[in-house]
Chain A
Amino acid sequence: MEKTLEKILKEHEEKEGNLISILQGIQDTYGYIPHEAVHWFSKRLNIPASRFFGVITFYSQFHLNPRGKNIISVCCGTACHVKGGSKIVERLQRDLNLNSAGETTKDGEITLEVVRCVGACSIAPVVIVNNRVHPDMTAEDTSKLIKKFKKEKSYAGR
């Protein structure tokens, strides 16, 4: 781990106000922000760990716990909301056996997330599976997509 963190530090060191960029680097590498990484940076940069945690918990992009191998994000921006985005979330919660968005399935395969507008409002409602945007979705479409996805254990288009 130390080697990886050293590499992240090297990429960001020279700049003032690099804290958020460092955290983004950690998250890109690990998928979340491990506590050990925070403490390591805190020592190296002589910045209190509380400042790191303050920033981490302020921004919705940062996660302190590991997430699933696959991320399914349902957009619930205004346009997606009026076109049925919340119905998709409800359906996926049932299908994946989750109590609320933000949770990960027991096998660690899928994390369900709700996002606030990804700027694809003209093709609403959209569901994003591992960075691929699916336009004009319904609860039924999404359910089928996930079934297919689970069966194949790998994700390939709609």
Chain B
Amino acid sequence: MQADNSNRKITVRVCIGTGGLAAGGKEVIQAFKKKISDMCIDVDVDFTCHYQKVGCRGFCARDVLVDVVDGGKSVTYQCIKPEMAERIVAEHLIKGNPITEWLIDDTYYAFHEKQKKILLADCGTIDPEDIQAYINVGGYSGIRKILSKMSPDDVISEIKTSGLRGRGGAGFPTGLKWETCRRTQGDIKYIICNADEGDPGAFMDRSIIEGNPHSVIEGMMIAGYAVGSNHGYIYIRAEYPFAVERLRLAIQQAHEQGYLGKNIAGNNFDFDIKIKLGAGAFVCGEETALIASIEGQRGMPRAKPPFPVHKGLWGKPTVINNVETLSNIPYIIRNGAQWYASIGTEKSKGTKVFALTGKVKNTGLIEVPMGMRLGEIIYDIGGGIIGDKKFKAVQTGGPSGGCIPAELLDTAVDFESFAKVGSIIGSGGMVVLDETDCMVNITKFFLEFTQAESCGKCVPCRIGTKRLLEILERITKGMGREGDIELLEKLGRDVRMTSLCGLGQTAPNPILSTIKYFRDEYEAHLKGKCPAAVCKELLTYSILEEFCKGCGACLRACPAGAITGEKKKLHKIDPAVCIKCGACFDVCKFKAVKKE
């Protein structure tokens, strides 16, 4: 049956966030456009259809996600590929019958049920390339509100009451930072948005910028008004070209609509924003290094005090806030400090966005109220571990954070509770590890990272991280010595105490937290065993006689020619030739390759 097509207004929303684009979001949009123009020639359709590109909606594991909004009714399709567009157009758009087997299922609802979306609510529903879409959902009403009836001190007091704390890692109270900068004398002051999201395993800042760039711009304007600054900088990684493009467009549109520039919204307040691209240095996430980088120098941190609020960019008072922090501001101003303070725990207010990744079933971007239990995030939202393997730990806070083991899954997600168990919330990366992950190897991975990114200015970090890494390397190679674990602990504490900036002060965290909770794994390595069978030098590969079918798959896959055997007969691995790459293990369908 043909649906009544008169006056139907259909919107097709296609996710083109990071995940959506990689899964073919652009191609899906094109396919829809083409199919609709092809098919509407033959059938008598009288509906208007428009396409919306939307940012990340969180559930990247099921990309490409496509919403079809027909009248007031919205349904969501998952895992859509360009070739599926034809059927959706024919059956749903034209005839009005949604294709039930392609719709999102219970997992999708479970993924969202426990979340509380404030920042991400508009990400994924509004078109980030259209300023009007942001204005339609209440955007820029915050800046209009404060310009018409709030003094800068009112704004600061509002943010202080809300209890908002910085989302970049340290959790410093935002209102207090603004107040200090406001009280500092200075003819020129600066607002810097730190979008140098360098922590591996975190991508919320990127997603917020790509999905709702105007919320960050509005947050910066409000900050500017509060501290008395007319100049903003956004320092963003060059590794995020798409986010940079979105920001440029958003800034241009804000100028055209009179939200940036002189006399904003007809008031006596000027504000402008410039974009500065990072050049690939993790340490530039540290505020004094970031300032040096904007000034065109090597991005090396300096000793604090003086803090940037007193002496920042070009020696002027400067507030540096991270993307997620700034994105919270318009919502607090719009809905009131009391509303914001009612969410979360006593000392950690509001929501936090996490990048849930690793060995969890539902990977993606989530937003939860502070204080939720870690276990709820991993099992209820994340859906548990892939392949129903055993959960081992969750790594939080990137290279500055630590690993939280299974017995502490009851830990509440807030600044204080995480500190108590030896980790940090950090920027919000959560990498879930299962029984096949080696904790010593993961720790080595982080030290490789911090050692490579250490700027070299201070000795404890430059040499300390190098020595820590060397010890970890020899342990994972089976050449660890007695006393190495104690040495790691001692040296780790020293580096933590004496380094100049946050990078060095937190670099030993992965070591100290894994030794605390997984000391047995370190000890096993010293005895020449890797319990999770990850560390190459401690492994041997062999073929199990009872499972080998002689199919020859491993023989063909082996790049070293270490495997011999005739067809349909038992194959063998020559340990002298084997390079332990694991290709045979991955390719064998009969689980006949043993790794130990």
Cα A118 to Cα B282 in complex, Å, equals 13
Q: List A contacts of B298 (CB < 8 A).
A: 54-55, 58
Cα A23 to Cα B63 in complex, Å, equals 37
Q: List B contacts of A120 (CB < 8 A).
A: 18-19, 22, 203
Q: Flag the segment in A14-22, A36-44, A64-72, A144-152 that touches B.
A: A14-22
Contact between chains at A82 and B433 (CB < 8 Å): yes
B interface residues, tally (CB under 8 Å):
62
A interface residues, tally (CB under 8 Å):
43
> Quick one: which of A55, A135, A139 contacts B22, CB cutoff 8 A?
A135
CB distance from B571 to the nearest CB of A (A): 19
Could you mark each residue 228-242 of chain B with 1 if its beta carbon is under 8 Å from any beta carbon of chain A, else 0? 000000000011110
Chain A, residue nearest B204 (CB): A119
Q: Which chain A residues numbered 32 to 85 have a C-beta less than 8 Å away from chain B?
A: 54-55, 58-62, 77-79, 81-83
Q: Does A26 contact B (CB under 8 A)?
A: no
Contact between chains at A59 and B279 (CB < 8 Å): yes
> Quick one: which of B202, B357, B581 contacts A87, CB cutoff 8 A?
B581
Cα A55 to Cα B206 in complex, Å, equals 25
Q: Does B358 contact A (CB under 8 A)?
A: yes
Cα A122 to Cα B455 in complex, Å, equals 29
CB distance from A129 to the nearest CB of B (A): 12
Q: Which chain B residues numbered 556 to 595 have a C-beta less than 8 Å away from chain A?
A: 559, 581-583, 586-587
Contact between chains at A119 and B240 (CB < 8 Å): yes
Q: List A contacts of B483 (CB < 8 A).
A: none
Q: Does A115 contact B (CB under 8 A)?
A: yes
Cα A16 to Cα B238 in complex, Å, equals 20
Contact between chains at B206 and A78 (CB < 8 Å): no
Q: List A contacts of B241 (CB < 8 A).
A: 131
Q: List A contacts of B240 (CB < 8 A).
A: 119
Cα A88 to Cα B533 in complex, Å, equals 18
Q: List B contacts of A124 (CB < 8 A).
A: 357-358, 363
Q: List B contacts of A134 (CB < 8 A).
A: 22
Q: Using known A-B contacts A61-B238, A78-B431, A82-B442, determine if residue A117 contacts B199 with beta carbons closer than 8 Å.
A: yes
Contact between chains at B358 and A116 (CB < 8 Å): no
Q: Does A8 contact B (CB under 8 A)?
A: no
Contact between chains at A94 and B239 (CB < 8 Å): no
Q: Flag the segment in B165-173, B289-297, B515-523, B537-545 that touches A.
A: B289-297
Q: Does B449 contact A (CB under 8 A)?
A: yes
CB distance from B586 to the nearest CB of A (A): 7
Q: Does A121 contact B (CB under 8 A)?
A: yes
Q: List B contacts of A87 (CB < 8 A).
A: 581-582
Q: List B contacts of A119 (CB < 8 A).
A: 18, 197, 202-203, 206-207, 239-240
CB distance from B205 to the nearest CB of A (A): 8
> Quick one: which of B203, B293, B586 contacts A121, CB cutoff 8 A?
B203
Cα A18 to Cα B559 in complex, Å, equals 49
Chain A, residue nearest B238 (CB): A61
Q: Does B306 contact A (CB under 8 A)?
A: no
Contact between chains at B280 and A60 (CB < 8 Å): yes
Q: Which chain B residues numbered 320 to 378 have a C-beta less than 8 Å away from chain A?
A: 355-359, 363-365
Q: Does B138 contact A (CB under 8 A)?
A: no
Contact between chains at A121 and B357 (CB < 8 Å): yes
Chain B, residue nearest A81 (CB): B445
Contact between chains at B61 and A122 (CB < 8 Å): yes
Q: Does B464 contact A (CB under 8 A)?
A: no
Q: Does A90 contact B (CB under 8 A)?
A: yes
Contact between chains at B449 and A123 (CB < 8 Å): no
Q: Does B103 contact A (CB under 8 A)?
A: no
Chain A, residue nearest B60 (CB): A122
Cα A29 to Cα B175 in complex, Å, equals 43
Q: List B contacts of A17 (CB < 8 A).
A: 294-297
Q: Using known A-B contacts A18-B296, A59-B279, A62-B279, determine if residue A82 contacts B359 with beta carbons closer than 8 Å.
A: yes
Q: Does B554 contact A (CB under 8 A)?
A: no
Cα A61 to Cα B83 in complex, Å, equals 38
Cα A54 to Cα B456 in complex, Å, equals 13
Cα A79 to Cα B445 in complex, Å, equals 11
Q: List B contacts of A59 (CB < 8 A).
A: 278-281, 299
Cα A116 to Cα B446 in complex, Å, equals 11
List 3 tightest A-B contacts by C-beta distance, closest first: A77-B200, A119-B203, A59-B279
Q: A16-B296, A58-B298 are in contact. List 17 more A-B contacts (CB 8 A).
A: A17-B295, A17-B296, A20-B296, A24-B277, A58-B281, A59-B281, A59-B299, A79-B363, A81-B445, A82-B442, A90-B581, A116-B200, A117-B198, A117-B201, A122-B19, A122-B355, A122-B363
- B residues near A, CB below 8 A? 18-19, 21-23, 60-61, 63, 197-203, 206-207, 238-241, 276-282, 293-300, 314, 355-359, 363-365, 395, 398, 429, 431, 433, 437, 442, 445-446, 449, 455, 559, 581-583, 586-587
